[in-house]
Structure 1
Amino acid sequence: MDIQSLFNLNGRVAVVTGGSRGIGKMIVEGYLKAGAARVYISARKVDQIEETVAEFGSQVIGLPCDLSTVDGCLSLAEQIAAREEKVDILVNNA
């Protein structure tokens, strides 16, 4: 069994809510190492998002949102829909 082929995410687009720190950030790192094309992260704290984006580079796109509200959830969905035709992976970590 070829583990690299089994867990290959080449060209995939992921969204990780709460992806700027902790477990969410570790998931982002894993997806990037597995070949994800882009990983969108959301969080409420802009400075934490900016730090994570700076650490991982242009494949990580930060979208500040408060997902504790319906408006925040709708905003995140709209922002992603404006940028992507589809999302392959969603991790609701927030």
Structure 2
Amino acid sequence: MRRYFSRWYFWATHSRLGPIVKAAKSLKSHIDNIVTYARHRITNALGESLNSKIEKVKRLACGYRNRDHYKTAIYFHCGGLDLYPRRKPAAFQVINA
């Protein structure tokens, strides 16, 4: 993949087309990450999403009195809790006589 990229990069930088040269330089600066993704098909999108949610919790609260409240708010918003759990069907409920 790197061999192909280096040939393409040579062509792109010698093309005298401004946007192509700019794109080639941008891709060259990120080539290690591009090759890693092509090999492993893994990104850090999940971690970035979680960090974004945590920052949103922090921003909406305008500060917390202590770390425990902050940690609880993160668990609450990012934990995927169901605030309205389903009730068990009547067949599974214990009937007190």
TM-score (norm 2): 0.28
Q: Select the structure that is richer in helix.
A: 2
Q: Select the structure that is richer in strand.
A: 1
If asked which structure has higher relative contact order (CA below 8 Å, sep 6+), I would say 1
Computing the radius of gyration from Cα coordinates, the structure with the larger value is: 2
